[in-house]
Structure 1
Amino acid sequence: MTLKKRKRVVASFLSLIAAAAVLVGVTLVGNSYRFDQRDVTITGPDGALEAVLTVPPQGAARGLVVMVHGDGPVEATQDGLYSPWFEAAADAGYATLSWSKPGVEGSEGDWLTQSMDDRAREVSTAIDWAQAQGDIPTGTIVLWGASQAGWVLPKVVRDREDIDGVVALGTAINWLDQGRFNLLAELDHDGADTQERQRAIAESDQTRTLLERGASYDEYLATSASADPMTEARWAFVQRNFGSDATADLAAAAARPVPVHLMVGTHDRNVDVAQTEETYRSIFGPSLTVTRVDGAHSLARPVMEDNDLVGLLTGTVWPRALLAPDTVDDYRAFLTHVAPPA
């Protein structure tokens, strides 16, 4: 190798090192947040729940946000994706309590055996646990809930008198309506032709019929044409909860003048957020505020959900950029204005 070529190789190598150093530096900055976090263990109704408590890095917190997850095996930090929410709460002077669902990470139990009433009881037990601790600020309590939490949040507010605010993200009203909306929205998004639509709707109708008459998993499996059928545990979970409708619980929750903040993504394909907003407005009236963001169901920028590679890279390097513009600012502003109890 000539000296000139060797110099080019060395220069290229040094450029790669420099680029890698910049990437590492950006990633470190992008994953540096303004909150302190510690692991805690909640005594839940069905065993210990592995949890995290985040607090402002300086000064005492003035309240507590209790996070209520959506569907699926969610870990306490949503694999780090909750960090922007933790940070916004800390900036507003709030601690945040979040736990891994039963059966996830070190939490005992199995979330797939839960009804929505079970989930509400779990949230209430976690609040009781927090109130029994000497170092967790529970003078003001705000519930934060996403998606499936829409069937949980109003039950907790209905049954307790110490909830001071609710933040609902992309919550649905009726389980079966939500499922049908999601099916049709995904078919539209995928550009399905008439035959594909008819086949998918027929499959959905058949599943609903089986659920309504309490069919066994074996019967479901024998009649399903799905390439990815539900597991037996998932079938049992859906059977337990498919009749969920939040309307009555929302009305009961509205008996208390608790401020409710609904945040929805204008590109949500999972939930008919227009129906949710209409229902919430009719029930909560002036107690409700609504923010619509240019986001998907999770309030992430649509590209993050539609392009796995973009979502992965952004989530790794700069997680704050996952969410639609102004999302966390709006959340922080709501928390700042939640009035402390009289």
Structure 2
Amino acid sequence: MKAKKALAWGVAVALVVLGCLFLAFQGLQDFDFSEYRTRPLAFDFDGYSVAGTLHLPRAENPPLVLLVHGDGPADRYSGDGYMPLISTLLDSGIAVYSWDKPGIGESGGNWLSFSMDDRARLAATALATVKQQPGLQTSPAGFLGFSQAGWVLPILAQEPARGDFFVIVGGAINWLRQGAYYTKRKMELAGASGQDIKAALKAGMDADLKLRPQSFSYQDYLASGMDETPMSEPRFGFVQRNMRADSTHNLWHISAPVLTIHGSEDLNVDPVANSNGYREILKGRHKANRSVVVPGGTHALLRAGLFNYQLEGNMPAGLKTLFAVLGRRAYAPGALETLTGWVNGLATENSGAGKPSGRSN
């Protein structure tokens, strides 16, 4: 009897181990694009070269998505964080192009010198470059932007639209309101009292008023002591240049299809207020417009129960390993299906053809 129990226990353990190995293998596949056509593709912008990579599915004349980064010094794969998403898009028959931000990876320039209009011009130049590639000249092409790209894509989407469709993930309509929400959630997570949070938000508003005038220099900023850990001078310039960002006006001038997606547990951007804001402004503009809040999703649409951190750098190494093991399964249920289904639905409607075929999941 004991031998039988030991054997049963051993079989159970072996099955669990095999199951874990299988999941790990499935997740790691999402970081391997070898079965698809992949090639480097650079373009010139304002006198320097911007380097990126074009990934093509097996389908002919596939819909094309260009990835537009959020904040920070991101390379074309955002430190490998984009890979499961790119893999999912390819499996759904969607081509993908992404690039290193100026001054990052193989790209020249300095992304911190950009305004949101500059970022939109760069993305439009990328689109024009990719559309010249064989097999993509007649493809429906649009942009998929993350977080800060929520102020870039509405510039691209306003008439005349530079793109056939637009997907905004974790976007905020107003820069200053987003900053206040971020501060509030950060302090709540740290256990701050309501009174301390209220005082910090008031101090933040006062600091924003000081920062607004271009006459307020970096030396003035350092002397003010408004930040316990001061920004670098390039970051100061970037913030001062873009802190007035508000996409309301641009959104009112959009007739192209727009999908906005937020995770319900977003710690960086108020998901309900911004999703409702997009929905109200874009209502009736295009029949395909949708504003979705994914249950249990983070700012990046990952599973909030595992990966909900305001900054990627705050995530423990063990969870980063788990992300690699899970691959696309690290995303909140329904998030990626919503995105790929919407893009392919538009492509099918425009072409009259069936859904492009990709690698099965």
Question: Into which bin does the TM-score normalised by the smaller protein fall?
Answer: 0.7 to 0.9
Displacement of 1:91 in angstroms is: 2.6
**1:331–1:269 Cα change, 3 Å:** same
Corresponding residue number in structure 1 for 2:243? 242
- Residues of 2 paired with 1:266 and 1:29: CA distance? 27
- More moved, 317-326 vs 22-31: 22-31
Q: 1:25 to 1:265 in 2, by over 3 A?
A: closer
Paired with 2:23 and 2:90, the residues of 1 have a C-alpha distance of 22
Matched, 1:31 2:28: yes
What aligned pairs does 1:73-152 form with structure 2 within 5 A after superposition?
73-152=73-152
Task: Check 1:166–1:341 CA distance in 2 against 1; reply closer, same or farther (3 A cut).
Answer: farther
Which residue of the other structure, out of 319, 332, 335, is the alignment partner of 2:327? 319
The structural deviation recorded for 1:203 is 3.8
Moved more, 149-158 or 111-120: 149-158
Q: Secondary structure at the match of 1:340?
A: helix
Secondary structure of 1:263 counterpart: strand
1:1-342 superposed matches below 5 A: 27-33=24-30, 35=33, 36=36, 37-56=38-57, 58-161=58-161, 163-194=163-194, 196-198=196-198, 200-214=200-214, 215-253=216-254, 256=255, 258-286=256-284, 287=286, 288-293=289-294, 294-302=296-304, 303-306=306-309, 307-338=315-346, 339-340=349-350
Q: Distance between the aligned counterparts of 1:310 and 1:267, measured in 2?
A: 21
CA distance in 1, matches of 2:322, 2:240: 37
How far did residue 161 of structure 1 move? 4.1
Q: Is the 8 A contact 1:63 1:137 kept in 2?
A: no
**Cα deviation digits, residues 40-93 of structure 1 (max 9, x gap):** 21223342111011111x332422101111111111011221122212222332
TM score, norm. by length of structure 2 = 0.81
Counterpart residue type for residue 249 of structure 1: N
Q: For 2:257 and 2:205, how far apart are their aligned partners in 1?
A: 38
**Secondary structure at the counterpart of residue 55 of structure 2:** strand
CA displacement, residues 13-46 of structure 1 (integer Å, 9 cap, x when unaligned)? xxxxxx8x99887645422138523222122334
CA distance in 1, matches of 2:138, 2:28: 28
CA displacement, residues 167-224 of structure 1 (integer Å, 9 cap, x when unaligned)? 1101111111111111112212221025642553354134212212331112211222
Percent identity reads 31
- In structure 2, the gaps of 5 or more residues are 1-16, 310-314, 353-361
Q: Deviations over 1:93-112 (max 9, x none)?
A: 22111101100101110000
Tell whether the 8 Å contact from 1:299 to 1:324 is kept in structure 2 after alignment. yes
Question: Measured at CA, do residues 51 and 185 of structure 1 come closer, stay the same or move farther in structure 2, by a change above 3 Å?
Answer: same
Q: Do the aligned residues in 1 keep the contact of 2:267 with 2:308 (CA within 8 Å)?
A: no
Q: Is contact 1:174-1:245 (8 Å) kept?
A: yes
Structure 1 gaps of 5+ residues are 1-18
Q: Structure 1 length normalisation: TM-score?
A: 0.85
Does the Cα contact within 8 Å between 2:263 and 2:300 map onto a contact in 1? yes
Distance in 2, matches of 1:134 and 1:273, equals 39
Q: Report the aligned-residue RMSD.
A: 2.5
Q: Measure, in 1, the Cα distance between the counterparts of 2:324 and 2:80.
A: 9
User: Does the 8 Å contact 1:64/1:94 carry over to 2?
Assistant: yes
- Secondary structure in 1 matching 2:95: strand
Partner SS for 2:204: helix
Runs of 4+ in 1 over 6 A off after TM superposition: 21-25
Deviation readout 1:298-321 (Å, 9 max, x if unpaired): 111222134524431212322223
Distance, in Å, in 2 between the alignment partners of 1:135 and 1:141 is 12
The Cα of 1:123 is off from its aligned counterpart by 0.7
